[in-house]
Amino acid sequence: MTSTFLADKRSGPGTDLPPPESVRARGRGRRRVMHWLTAVSFQLPALVLFIGMVLLPMLFALYAAFFRWGGFGMPSDYVGTDNFTQLFDNPVFLGDLWRCLVLVVLSLAFQLPFALAMAVLLNQKLRGRAVYRMLFFAPYVLSEAITGVLFSMVFAPDSGLADHIFGAVGLDGVGGLWFADPSYVMATLFLVMMWKYFGFHMMLYLAGLQSIPRELTEAALIDGAGAWQRFRNVTLPLLAPTLRISIFLSVIGSIQLFDLVWVVTQGGPDHHSETMAVTMFQYGFKRYQVGYASAISVVMFGICLVFALAYQRFVLRRDLEGATTTMRGDGK
């Protein structure tokens, strides 16, 4: 028996497989159908799950966003694009967009460079580096909700650890109310996010650094390049794919931020730490304005989509080759 499910291996990327000589023309059509059915039957469980639990709900949200709807029965009160126009008049939602941008900028300015510095540091032969790596990454495995509760205690006004530490070094005025202070709440949240997530980015960078051949930096050393020059002109360009992925994940993470904010502030004080997901949650599950909340979901989806496509088009394309561009030949 000629095995048709080997076709992929033999055809390789981007080529069409010439039909085996031994296969008679008459039998080929049926065999191809059988082959297709076999291949697709392996896809079925994943496909059913994915369509049912990911695609259909999202499409339904897109539909519901055009209705005034409390979430019970089927939506019937069609309001056109009212939900969207109201949304972009809503100062809280516009604030969500602004705060999302602030988090992205803070992350790009502080978290990722810090993670990179730590990765470069721990990529050297230092005593105990394995321990540090494990330690810096450890918060990543904690639930965001549990992390939130921990830091709501650490930053509790007056009684928390942070106030005691700042008080002990004579900085009583710094922070103060932390999460309860409108002008400090985002900065404090960002500190917690950095505590929890910089280790993750550090691990990505470490993996990237370890894939850079030592010969390259050694060659630069022999050519007389200083440490900064070696980093700037050899390491950084070669690390670019990893950096782009890490930036992407960081932005997507900021867009969907929910657990931490919900546990610590629920968006307060007075919406000063609210995120899009929190606003959506408030309208959808607390006020039962499900149509309006669906519109928020759709906008979040749109932002993700536009960002992902633009990023892929302009930034990621080279890095993803081989991962998302599959072979064209379908083994005919």
Restricted to residues 185-244, the positions that interact with another protein (CB under 8 A) are 195, 199-200, 203-204, 207-208, 241-242
Maximum Cα–Cα distance for the chain, whole Å?
A: 88
If the CB atoms of residues 181 and 258 are measured against another protein, the closer one turns out to be 258
If the CB atoms of residues 136 and 178 are measured against another protein, the closer one turns out to be 136
Cα angle: 140, vertex 282, 294; to 5 degrees: 95
x-or-dash pattern for another protein, window 123-162, by CB under 8 A?
-x-xxx---x-xxxxxx-xxxxxx-xxxxxxx-x--x-x-
Minimum separation from the CB atom of position 277 to another protein (A): 4
Minimum separation from the CB atom of position 58 to another protein (A): 5
Query: Alpha helices of the chain — where are they, by DSSP H?
Result: 7-11, 25-50, 56-64, 82-87, 91-106, 112-122, 129-137, 144-154, 161-168, 185-210, 214-222, 227-230, 236-255, 259-264, 276-281, 290-311, 317-320
Site for another protein in 72-101 (CB under 8 A): none
Query: Which listed residue (14, 20, 49, 109) binds another protein by CB under 8 A?
Result: 49
Minimum separation from the CB atom of position 82 to another protein (A): 18
- Among the residue ranges 103-111, 220-228, 230-238, 319-327, the one whose residues contact another protein (CB under 8 A): 319-327
Minimum separation from the CB atom of position 50 to another protein (A): 5
Minimum separation from the CB atom of position 18 to another protein (A): 13
Report the 3 state secondary structure along 18-62: CCCCCCCHHHHHHHHHHHHHHHHHHHHHHHHHHHHHHHHHHHHHH
- Among the residue ranges 19-27, 86-94, 169-177, 247-255, the one whose residues contact another protein (CB under 8 A): 247-255
SS3 of residue 329 by DSSP: coil
Distance CA 271, CA 285 (A): 17
CA–chain centroid gap for 227, Å, is: 32
If the CB atoms of residues 125 and 214 are measured against another protein, the closer one turns out to be 125
